[in-house]
Structure 1
Amino acid sequence: MKDEILRILSMVSDGKISQEKAAELIDALYQREEKSNNDYDNKILKVKVLSHEGDNVNVNFPVKAAKAILKATGKFPITMGDQITNIDMNALIEALDASVIGKIVDVKSAEGDIVEVTIE
């Protein structure tokens, strides 16, 4: 978005558009950015844990809620032994802040435990 704003400012400087038109264009850019962020917050963060002992967990969080929970507590509100606690929650928070889509965690232990975290 920064490059687009710089282009708009350059057009004002070159006299190609008025300051008022530039303000409208920049406002439209911010509205587009805000809409894009809101769309991401409505995505679902899915946590899937399959234990070699037969314990299974499938939890779905709206991204907006997952961000709030992780930033407030530093963990997910589910218990499943070391499979969940071994995930780097700071990296997960960074992925959420960067609006990453797709599988962000895919761990398979030597014992057969599987942990997957996906944003869809």
Structure 2
Amino acid sequence: MSEDITDERMQILEMVEEGKINTKEGLELLDALEGNPEKNDSKKKAKWLRIRVRTMDDNPKVTVNIPLALVDVGLKLARKFDPKLDEEVLNQVDLDEIVEAVKNGAHGEIVDVDDEENQTKVKVYVE
């Protein structure tokens, strides 16, 4: 098991311990992290919601990858671990609208925002 996955598992367990997510959400995240298709009720290749926030000169600011099956739980997790997601992305993008579009089968690039005032680019897509 790679060090990144071990660190992510510990973060999930800490969130359960701190009461930030419940045990069911924690198990779902651990199953998605381990790529356990039977527990995720998905026998096909997993799809991902990807959020990228970059500066106008293309330097990364925020990178979030969420298993599509866990988009609601994953966004909660992402908001807790990366406050920039709330500050920068949520001010520009309605994540509830994105979640609804994804649940209704949207794929490919969903959002592409260039915010000249804050010198930020936001891209949201499903892979």
TM-score (norm: length of structure 1): 0.53
Residue in structure 1 matching 2:98, options 87, 92, 100: 92
Residues 65 and 41 of structure 1: is their aligned pair in 2 closer, same or farther, counting only changes over 3 Å? Answer: farther
The answer to whether 1:47 aligns with 2:54 is no
* Residue of structure 2 in register with 1:62 after alignment: 67
> Between the two proteins, what is the percent identity of the paired residues?
26
Unaligned runs of 5+ in 1: 1-36
User: 1:10-38: CA deviations, max 9, x gaps?
Assistant: xxxxxxxxxxxxxxxxxxxxxxxxxxx93
Task: Give the superposed CA RMSD.
Answer: 3.0
Aligned residue for 1:100, secondary structure, equals: coil
Task: Compare CA radii of gyration and give the structure with the larger one.
Answer: 1
Structure 2: gaps of 5 or more residues: 1-40
Whole-angstrom distance in 1 between the partners of 2:107 and 2:96: 17
Q: Any conservation in 1 of the 2:50–2:124 contact (CA below 8 Å)?
A: yes
Counterparts of residues 8-87 of structure 1 (less than 5 Å) = 38=42, 42-52=46-56, 56-70=61-75, 73=76, 76-77=79-80, 78-80=82-84, 82-86=87-91, 87=93
The 3-state SS of whatever aligns with 1:59 is: strand
Verify the 8 A CA contact 1:51 1:113 in the aligned structure 2: yes
Mark the CA change 1:94 to 1:42 in structure 2 (over 3 Å): closer, same or farther: same
Deviation by residue 1:47-86 (Cα, 9 ceiling, x = unmatched): 100135956222211111223344xx5x744322632122
